[in-house]
Amino acid sequence: MAKIPETLILTRADVEALTDMPAVVDAVASAFAAHAAGRARMPPKVYLDLPEYAGDFRAMPAFFDGAAGVKWVNSHPQNPRRHGLPAVMGVYIYSDPETARPLAILDATWLTAIRTGAAAAVASRALARPEARSLGFVGAGVQSRTMAMAHRVTHPHVTELVFADVRPEAALAMAEAFGGRVGSVEEAAACDIVCTSTPGAEPVVLARMVRPGAHLNAMGADAEGKQELETALTVSARIFVDDPAQAFHSGEVNVPLHHGDLREDQVAGSLGAVLNGQLVARPEAGAITLFDSTGLAVQDLAVARILVARAREQGRGVSLPLVG
| pLDDT band at residue 2 under the 50/70/90 scheme | low
pLDDT in tens, 168-218: 999 999 999 999 999 999 999 999 999 999 987 789 999 999 999 999 999
Residue 113 region, left (φ>0) first, then alpha (ψ -120 to 50), else beta?
Answer: alpha
Task: Enumerate the CATH 3.40.50.720 domain ranges in the chain, comma separated.
Answer: 129-295
Contact present, 267 and 246 (Cβ < 8 Å)? no
Average pLDDT over residues 271-278: 97
Residue 4: pLDDT over 80:
no
Contact present, 193 and 217 (Cβ < 8 Å)? yes
Average pLDDT over residues 133-157: 97
Whether 226 is catalytic is no
Q: Which of 3, 45, 71, 226 is catalytic?
A: 71
Residue 154: pLDDT over 90:
yes
65: nearest Cα among 28, 100, 38, 39? 39
- Whole-angstrom CA distances from 123 to 15, 101, 198, 292 are 24, 34, 18, 10
Average pLDDT over residues 120-128: 98
Average pLDDT over residues 220-248: 93
Cβ–Cβ contacts within 10 Å for residue 80, how many? 12
* pLDDT, position 168: 95
Q: What is the CATH number of domain 129-295?
A: 3.40.50.720
**CA–CA dist 166, 206 (Å, integer):** 16
* pLDDT, position 19: 97
Cβ–Cβ contacts within 10 Å for residue 25, how many? 25
Contact present, 107 and 127 (Cβ < 8 Å)? no
Average pLDDT over residues 93-109: 96
Pick among 2.60.40.10, 3.40.50.10470, 3.50.50.60, 3.30.1780.10: CATH of 7-111+298-320? 3.30.1780.10
Amino acid at 27: A
CA dihedral 216, 22, 140, 46 (to 10 degrees): 70
Task: Enumerate the CATH 3.30.1780.10 domain ranges in the chain, comma separated.
Answer: 7-111+298-320
Amino acid at 318: V
Q: Which residues 6+ apart lie within 8 Å of 187 measured at CB? A: 136, 162, 164
* pLDDT, position 224: 85
| pLDDT band at residue 102 under the 50/70/90 scheme | very high
pLDDT in tens, 211-230: 999 999 999 987 788 899 99
Give percent of the chain with pLDDT exceeding 90: 90
- Whole-angstrom CA distances from 212 to 110, 277, 299 are 34, 24, 30
